[in-house]
Structure 1
């Protein structure tokens, strides 16, 4: 019966242990009595007769007997393991407490048993004190504290330990957790308890100072800097916290040792570390180190390499004999796990088919603190892709995905091609870029084959824009539909509408905006693989805008005075192979017709007439940004474009020198007129309009633009994005002048609302929209005509809040500045308007990119003397 004693001691709560010992003594005395009166001998076999159950339980007698494994007619040994095993089975069910087994009667070789037990109490009500109500559900879920849960000492202990560790990890070093249970007494027979969970997190503990002992080579400052997440209190620090987190602290102790290793001290170690609690409720960290002696690299030999020569591998390793020993750097040059496209030896092998290669640096000698290294290489057999498949694409057709794959069956394995494939699938915008996973299946080093499977998760690729608001003297309604994974070939198939034909990777957008004063209609379509064999994108767009003049007498639109713009564009963009296949060459032909009907606003010098804009655009871009197009973490994006018209002044027979002289004379007559009602003023004004009609009948211009941006991951969650922009609008014939269309308007949120004249609105936050054009000397204010040249610099620091497929959210801080002018002669690219601020971006697949920025302009607007101050900008559908 010794097993029963052990089970009781191990499985019962402390507060009932002594009670059970008394029961056990009584049980033993009973056995002695039976032994004296019934010839009860140790190890005697008996057949079980009646088995009874007693105690406080809601389970049936048959259920408990079944749980125990005992049954009537079974032959058992008393004393022996049978009864001990029965008790263990009942404990393992986690349903009972106070389990006892008695021999109630023995008649010859027949034994009668009684099982006495009580049900574990169930949790009735739970009250949590000390944390916000919003956190209660998480605590209940993490600790399985639902109503009806069996309450055991183990449950109470694990709950207390879990919460204590949880809050200490969050910086609440003095967390205390108390759990009380109270038995519920009512008419229900089931044992139940109410639980009160008291959590006292206390205040987060901050680190007052961090000091090191035993460091002579590296200063305290250098070692503190190596601790990435454990920082002492410093008022000017914004990004790093000074709260103590034990898990982070333990990792930072390893970073201290890594810093020593990077400086040649390979034997450095932490001797001891201690926490001192200060009276001001802060702590001080004291860390004792032993630096050891410095080491240098000796000879580095490569063993087992046949594919690459020693010289080739040495150039990749970039470590020479006599260099300060740096084990961290050595490992990065062998295999840098932080960068999938790093220039290291492992990638050199894996990018050329040697998937099964292994490269291990081994220290073979450390005499006189000089470490000789052998880089032992097992090249293995070149690997080839056996099968390549994609799973998870429920909407996107297979051919749209497979044409982007850089890995093909029978092709030599290349890690670079796998990484590039993941990037290309992410850039499509049809899948959650964070969930794309390359899976290696069935690797066969003997045969040299590997099966490749790309797992993707579809995300919403269509967007809807439905807006209504009051502005410009009336209600403005906007309806926009953008289908980014459209299938035009199925547009007449009724069964394909789920809810729209999708899956072929085409883009189709429709937009309608209307108010009392204007109407805008636009349609665009693009096919990324024209013909299906080459990545040649075909695009076309068609738009029409009608603007009515405001009637100041009635307050309504005067539909007899209108300005109409109709435009059409066709474009081709081809992915190049040289210099590399990140380059894209694009070309487009566009035509716009500007038609003015009694539309005299001052926006143009003529109110009746038309202008034609036939232009050709040539662009060259390179985009190798990393996987997620919404939140890139690496790479760059450059674009250069030039847009120009035909040089009509060379062959249309118009003398623009004479026309310019007539224009100046008319301006002078108009300025000399006594009033706007003067006959000379009217005649001069009409002459100016006629001259401008001749000058701008067919628009003659050239426009050059450049932009470049870089993405650098400073830490795991911080991305720095600098960007530069430049634009210039010029004229072939100076006598004809720069056209009043196609100009640049700097300032504001960058949204191109009411861009009726082909203008380009350039974002510069912290200033009102389109407010930073050049100074109009006649008015002393910013010109309403836009600028012919601009430049802009910006710097953004981005931090992701969540990058889930349902909503990608990131916060940002920015610095930016820009300048613009109406002539190259007066342009100073460094005399800029500066701003800084904060913002947030939210990308939801159904609505696109939304955001808000708070920008502070540090400089005055043109013609003013006081800095602009704060501006709020709402961002819709843009990516900066």
Structure 2
């Protein structure tokens, strides 16, 4: 640093000394000279011409010595952060020419970092977080900042006695390079042993300890909140301590003093002395300056009456609840009707005895209208996909609820990192009554791949699935759009193949969420084909002549409703399935081994979803869907008497004496021949499947404390028949128990999760026609980053399945409890594992089912 200032001072001198010869050189102060030459000395990793280029000086350039040009060059070079010393010298003057020497000292470059005292995984994280990258210029401030970062990092984790020592040593293998050695000694975590309160009479010790959310005493068995001491959290807890008093009416409560005493066993004792003061009550509350709303309107929102115990925390929240951006407070009340520039301040106007009178002073300002609405950060997703989901448009009145509704809907798309969505209010102009808003998005992986292999069913089963959630079908034939597939139009395309020696299934589905591009009308279609082959006697191969083939197609439409509100959606779907059986006995599914059956069904569903922004980990809101699926009532108009089908000449099985006969009334040789005719009856009953099916599912999310979320769930399903003589179809049934994953099946069954029991163990072999289920989950996130979202959960679950409505008893349920973890990665979907204990016996047992382990793959959130 001395050389730097010396160089600057020399420029303002009258007499300069040649740095090489020490000969006296005369210089006219302030005279303009022609730069005759510029020599650079001290370079190590740069060449001389590069540094000259950095200066911007050119030979032949007219400069003033001393003058502004040289000062600007010095400033410019320092701003490069490449040098530790910069000095200019005049080597000689020849008439009108001046020759300069630029002497520099380069900052060393970081070539390697070695961190000691920590495990390898943690050192990798530190190198990344502290940006200890190879090639970084090593300065004293860089070393100091690194040290401070590490000390603060571990103090925040409770390691108050952390020591960090950083040394640099020259790296002889590289020019002007150093190696950095970082030694970190975290010592043990410092925990809180005792918290003692002095002076408290109105609130007990346990009430005050509870108010301190982050600073807790050591207590055996408490794993959800550690007792580590973090100074920043402790300071915050001192404020929440006073808030606990204010909530009880003690407005004047304050902390007189506090002390933290370090013990020899790596613990601390905390002593806090408080002064409680008297208890106060609300007096008159007057509103001043309000024109848009009446006093009664604002009093209703405030929810505080004269005579209520003074609660400073509640008053602050009812004016503006900073913990809830969409809270029910007066500020939001104004901002949801355009008054962005409004200001609301509660002011104490008198405090007599134990009563406090308030004025709520309001400056409403002009209503604000959106001027410019923009989105930044989308690289793959096309603008129109985002803009059609915005609830804020240019010219519209500003409503805060519409801003947050937009954030929720953008998060629900699944194309962006829901945790990083941000609305930025810019260019607010209170005089003009306008405001701009910019939505910042960070795109997340929206496509998923399913690649599995395993052994089961007598052979290897492989699965390949591809799901593109932000597809662009219009660019399907545009080769330039493949990156690696056409993306950006918000469509969903899914392909799935699962095959083994005995089983094959192919499916294709496509969803367009905005059919026509103008309204949120969703169009969906899917095709599927399933083939099941009978294995040979030795199970080494498949007999292709014995097969069961299902072909299906589904077309659906869904429309967002405006009433009761626009979170409701009404959907319709028409589906057709064709079942072709050739020399294949399907057990309880079909009473025949050759023939065909068909299903035509219409499904209508009403749903509502107002869950909060992140669809993977909702912090609040609810969603439900109620649906009805039914086929045409063929038995009402096809003229078949199913009650007396056995007496029909075409299907008659026995004569008056009970002997088996064929369709012509002739005796048959064996029961097998009679069974053939019986199969004809079964085929007639199942020629067109006839049924109706009603289902309900509801989920509610409630944020309890911090990011701890309670999810409650209720589900119900019923499968019925129009004609009891025809009976309930053997398809579309419910199989309750286990992980709820959709195992390969030929009968359209629905697998209902009920953890703590084996798969399908709570329904009979052929499935049940009615079920109900209830569950509660406590969820807590470990990380909600873009690359992976991980959360833990604990649950209570109960439910059961029944064979008919006569048997149905909603509280005759099988109970379970357990713990689990979920990992969501954009490329692979949801993965998880649950450990659950079933408290009740399954069918045929008489003891509790006990522990079960369930693996979750691709299940809904």
- What is the TM-score normalised by the length of structure 1? 0.81
> In structure 2, what is the equivalent of residue 396 of structure 1?
381
- Please state whether the residue corresponding to 1:225 is helix, strand or coil: helix
C-alpha deviation, 1:318, in angstroms: 0.5
> In structure 1, what is the equivalent of residue 226 of structure 2?
241
After superposition, where does 1:289-688 map in structure 2 within 5 Å?
289-604=274-589, 605-659=591-645, 681-683=671-673, 685-688=675-678
Does the 8 Å CA contact 1:47/1:74 hold for their aligned counterparts?
A: no
CA distance in 2, matches of 1:186, 1:846: 45
Does the 8 Å CA contact 2:513/2:521 hold for their aligned counterparts?
A: yes
Q: Does 1:747 align with 2:716?
A: no
1:33-84 residue CA offsets vs partner (Å, 9 max, x unmatched): xxxxxxxxxxxx9844466899xxx948999xxx9xxxxx999xxxxxxxxx
CA distance in 2, matches of 1:215, 1:394: 58
C-alpha deviation, 1:512, in angstroms: 1.9
CA distance in 2, matches of 1:187, 1:767: 64
2:842 counterpart (828, 852, 861): 861
Q: Which runs of 5+ in 1 are unaligned?
A: 9-44, 68-72, 76-84, 100-116, 673-677, 774-782
Does the 8 Å CA contact 1:727/1:791 hold for their aligned counterparts?
A: yes
CA distance in 2, matches of 1:146, 1:546: 56
Query: Which structure has the highest helix share of the two?
Result: 1
CA distance in 1, matches of 2:21, 2:344: 67
Does the 8 Å CA contact 2:738/2:761 hold for their aligned counterparts?
A: yes
Q: Does 1:798 align with 2:785?
A: no
> In structure 2, what is the equivalent of residue 827 of structure 1?
808
- Please state whether the residue corresponding to 1:360 is helix, strand or coil: strand
Provide closer, same or farther for how the CA distance between residues 659 and 286 of structure 1 changes in structure 2, counting only shifts above 3 A: farther
C-alpha deviation, 1:347, in angstroms: 1.1
1:694-727 residue CA offsets vs partner (Å, 9 max, x unmatched): 2222222111100100112223322221111111
Q: Which runs of 5+ in 2 are unaligned?
A: 7-12, 23-40, 56-63, 67-73, 88-103, 661-667
CA distance in 2, matches of 1:155, 1:491: 51
1:511-563 residue CA offsets vs partner (Å, 9 max, x unmatched): 22222112212222222222333222121222111111222345321222111
1:734-767 residue CA offsets vs partner (Å, 9 max, x unmatched): 2222111110011222221222111111112232
C-alpha deviation, 1:309, in angstroms: 0.5
- Greater Cα offset, 466-475 or 418-427: 466-475
> In structure 2, what is the equivalent of residue 14 of structure 1?
none
> In structure 2, what is the equivalent of residue 133 of structure 1?
120
- Please state whether the residue corresponding to 1:867 is helix, strand or coil: coil
1:308-333 residue CA offsets vs partner (Å, 9 max, x unmatched): 00010000001011111111111111
Does the 8 Å CA contact 2:85/2:106 hold for their aligned counterparts?
A: yes
CA distance in 2, matches of 1:187, 1:653: 96
C-alpha deviation, 1:120, in angstroms: 10
C-alpha deviation, 1:340, in angstroms: 1.9
> In structure 2, what is the equivalent of residue 106 of structure 1?
none
- Greater Cα offset, 794-803 or 408-417: 794-803
Does the 8 Å CA contact 2:117/2:184 hold for their aligned counterparts?
A: yes
CA distance in 2, matches of 1:416, 1:656: 58
CA distance in 2, matches of 1:145, 1:847: 32
Q: Does 1:168 align with 2:155?
A: yes
CA distance in 2, matches of 1:681, 1:529: 59
CA distance in 1, matches of 2:173, 2:624: 77
Provide closer, same or farther for how the CA distance between residues 447 and 178 of structure 1 changes in structure 2, counting only shifts above 3 A: closer
CA distance in 2, matches of 1:189, 1:403: 57
Does the 8 Å CA contact 1:800/1:810 hold for their aligned counterparts?
A: yes
Measured on the aligned residues, the alpha-carbon RMSD in Å equals 4.1
C-alpha deviation, 1:584, in angstroms: 0.6
> In structure 2, what is the equivalent of residue 724 of structure 1?
714
Does the 8 Å CA contact 2:189/2:266 hold for their aligned counterparts?
A: no
Does the 8 Å CA contact 1:95/1:150 hold for their aligned counterparts?
A: no
1:79-136 residue CA offsets vs partner (Å, 9 max, x unmatched): xxxxxx9xxx9xx999489x9xxxxxxxxxxxxxxxxx99999999876443223333
CA distance in 2, matches of 1:490, 1:122: 48
CA distance in 1, matches of 2:698, 2:484: 39
1:375-404 residue CA offsets vs partner (Å, 9 max, x unmatched): 111111111112222233333333222222
> In structure 2, what is the equivalent of residue 13 of structure 1?
none
2:751 counterpart (752, 756, 761): 761
Does the 8 Å CA contact 2:43/2:105 hold for their aligned counterparts?
A: no
C-alpha deviation, 1:642, in angstroms: 0.9
- Please state whether the residue corresponding to 2:269 is helix, strand or coil: strand
2:724 counterpart (723, 734, 743): 734
C-alpha deviation, 1:265, in angstroms: 0.9
CA distance in 2, matches of 1:621, 1:148: 56
CA distance in 1, matches of 2:563, 2:105: 81
Provide closer, same or farther for how the CA distance between residues 827 and 347 of structure 1 changes in structure 2, counting only shifts above 3 A: same
Provide closer, same or farther for how the CA distance between residues 474 and 449 of structure 1 changes in structure 2, counting only shifts above 3 A: same
1:693 counterpart (683, 692, 705): 683
Provide closer, same or farther for how the CA distance between residues 126 and 585 of structure 1 changes in structure 2, counting only shifts above 3 A: closer
C-alpha deviation, 1:798, in angstroms: 2.1
C-alpha deviation, 1:687, in angstroms: 4.8
C-alpha deviation, 1:351, in angstroms: 1.1
CA distance in 1, matches of 2:606, 2:734: 21
> In structure 1, what is the equivalent of residue 25 of structure 2?
none
CA distance in 2, matches of 1:194, 1:862: 69
- Please state whether the residue corresponding to 2:573 is helix, strand or coil: strand
CA distance in 1, matches of 2:726, 2:267: 74
Q: Does 1:262 align with 2:247?
A: yes
C-alpha deviation, 1:444, in angstroms: 1.3
Provide closer, same or farther for how the CA distance between residues 179 and 450 of structure 1 changes in structure 2, counting only shifts above 3 A: closer
> In structure 1, what is the equivalent of residue 702 of structure 2?
712
- Please state whether the residue corresponding to 1:657 is helix, strand or coil: helix
Provide closer, same or farther for how the CA distance between residues 741 and 270 of structure 1 changes in structure 2, counting only shifts above 3 A: same
- Please state whether the residue corresponding to 2:297 is helix, strand or coil: helix
Does the 8 Å CA contact 2:82/2:137 hold for their aligned counterparts?
A: no
- Greater Cα offset, 330-339 or 709-718: 709-718
C-alpha deviation, 1:682, in angstroms: 3.0
- Greater Cα offset, 128-137 or 605-614: 128-137
CA distance in 2, matches of 1:250, 1:332: 21
- Greater Cα offset, 118-127 or 539-548: 118-127
> In structure 1, what is the equivalent of residue 38 of structure 2?
none
